Amino acid sequence: MSWHELRVDGARLWARLEALGEVGEVLGPNGERGNARLALTDADRDGRDLVVGWMRDLGLDVVIDAVGNVVGTRAGTDPTAAPVMVGSHIDTVRTGGRFDGNLGVLGGLEVVETLAQHGVATTHPVSVAFFTGEEGARFQPDMLGSLVYVGGMALEDALDVHAADDGARLGDELARIGFAGPTPCPVASAPHAYFELHIEQGPVLEDEGVTIGVVTGVQGISWTELSITGQSAHAGTTPMRLRRDPGYVAAAINTGVRALATEMAGSQVATVGRCEFTPNLVNVVPAKVTLTVDLRNTDEALLQQAESVFTAYTDALAQEEGVLVERRTLARFEPVEFHPGMVDLVEATARRLGHSTRRMPSGAGHDAQMLARVCPTAMVFVPSVNGLSHNIAEHTEPADVTAGANVLLHVVLATAGVRA
Ligand code: HGY
Ligand code: MN
Ligand code: MN
């Protein structure tokens, strides 16, 4: 069989997605089956152990680095050649789906197994990776593991990050789950190329009836945590004119960033995802409110404009209400453009395989935006049903999963050098 006719085993890939989906499974009221595998929790450890077991079953050389990134490599015929890497993440948000990240890692395993099954040798080694803490839901910033992998964040700084929820230290959690690996970070030598298969997590491909998203890049991300301190007081006896209410300021920030995104339009989005009141009691004007604001835009200048408008608006609110606002940047990444030649390869490959395509930026952050700093990188999107993700109802149809994995297989074959 010519390698052009190679195809993945979609049923085998689907079975792995189902098996990993049972680790840290959360069930919804209407039969939805999602995942809760926050980074470095016991559930994440169990998911990691399962995937490392599959890597070892496939005879891959498994390496765990000092921030818990895991890379399984199938040897090429040229041991001096840098690997072609495919990967993503297997940590999830607390109300995650079974495809976000998982598809890219298990799609990579399926590519390697297909090569092995058909005895296809490649010049370059082929590596499958999962990176630590891509979601940033527990430890910020997001894409933390791949950021350390490419040298964008010092390992010591990463190990000292504390979890937003329970204050746990990343380095301690890594050791606790047994994934504080011996291999130094950042990576000693960059991959030859990096490809990531991922669900779109939005409505575009489904709305347009397109199977493959040819991802041109990733939009910029700005995450800020605000701690707003006012005056705790009795809800009944305190006149409105005497209040210094952080809860009011938090609510005004939420409606304010919505108005900002609406006014800026284009790709501008804004989200208040976390908001915690203290003491959080029905009859107490809050003492303090801690909230997060997530701003994103495909254009760096517009993202900076959104940030400065948001800062000025919040400062004016604080002045008016007499509260103190303290800010902490949780993540800040500029927009990234993927390698034009690799983007072209994804598009041509998908079309050669008979799939409809459309070019698009990614609204979500991905490990690929970090790997793009060190090697030619591109991504393959497949549709999300109802455009849903970061929701336990997240779903992608089996046929689209298989289509995406076949595109991943063939961009790897085109890049890794197939030995006849
Ligand atoms: O937030 C993101 O875009 C990604 O899911 N970490
Ligand atoms: Mn993801
Ligand atoms: Mn995600």
Under 8 Å between Cβ of 211 and 403: yes
Residues 7 and 22 reside in one and the same domain: yes
86 CB-near residues (< 8 Å, 6+ apart): 104, 107, 108, 111, 126, 127, 128, 129, 194, 195, 196, 197, 408, 412
Ligand 2 mean position, distance from CA 347 (Å) = 21
Instruction: Report d(CA 36, CA 25) in Å as an integer.
Output: 6
Query: Which tokens go with 172?
Result: 């301690």
CA 202 / ligand 3 centre spacing (Å): 11
The number of helix segments (H) and strand segments (E) in the chain equals 12, 20
Tell me whether strands 193-199 and 84-88 are parallel, antiparallel or unpaired: parallel
d(CA 51, CA 57): 10
Per-residue pLDDT of the chain (420 residues; tens, 9 = 90+): 788 899 999 999 999 999 999 999 999 999 999 999 999 999 999 999 999 999 999 999 999 999 999 999 999 999 999 999 999 999 999 999 999 999 999 999 999 999 999 999 999 999 999 999 999 999 999 999 999 999 999 999 999 999 988 999 999 999 999 999 999 999 999 999 999 999 999 999 999 999 999 999 999 999 999 999 999 999 999 999 999 999 999 999 999 999 999 999 999 999 999 999 999 999 999 999 999 999 999 999 999 999 999 999 999 999 999 999 999 999 999 999 999 999 999 999 999 999 999 999 999 999 999 999 999 999 999 999 999 999 999 999 999 999 999 999 999 999 999 876
Kind plus residue range of the DSSP H or E element containing 208:
helix 204-208
Ligand nearest to the CA of 135: 1
**For the whole model, what pTM was predicted?**
0.97
Q: How many domains does the chain have?
A: 2
Classify residue 94 by its DSSP letter.
Answer: T
Residue nearest to atom 6 of ligand 1 (CA): 135
Q: Is 247 in the pocket of ligand 1 (CB under 6 A)?
A: no
Identify the pLDDT of residue 420.
61
Cα(389) to centroid of ligand 2, in Å? 9
Q: Are residues 319 and 372 in the same domain?
A: no
Mutate to test the pocket of ligand 1, among 89, 135, 381 (most ligand atoms within 8 A of CB): 135
Q: Ligand 3: distance of its center to the CA of 136 in Å?
A: 9
Is any ligand 1 atom within 6 A of the Cβ of residue 200? Answer: no
Residue where a domain stops, chosen among 333, 359, 387: 333
Beta-strand relationship, 25-27 and 70-74: unpaired
H-type helices in 270-366, by residue range? 300-321, 340-352
Same domain, 95 and 106: yes
Distance of alpha carbon 359 from alpha carbon 349, whole angstroms = 13
Name the residues around ion ligand 3, CB cutoff 5 A.
Answer: 100
Which among 280, 310, 333 is the end of a domain? 333
Determine the structural domain holding residue 60 and report its residue range.
Answer: 3-219+336-419
> 382 φ, ψ to 5°?
-125, 155
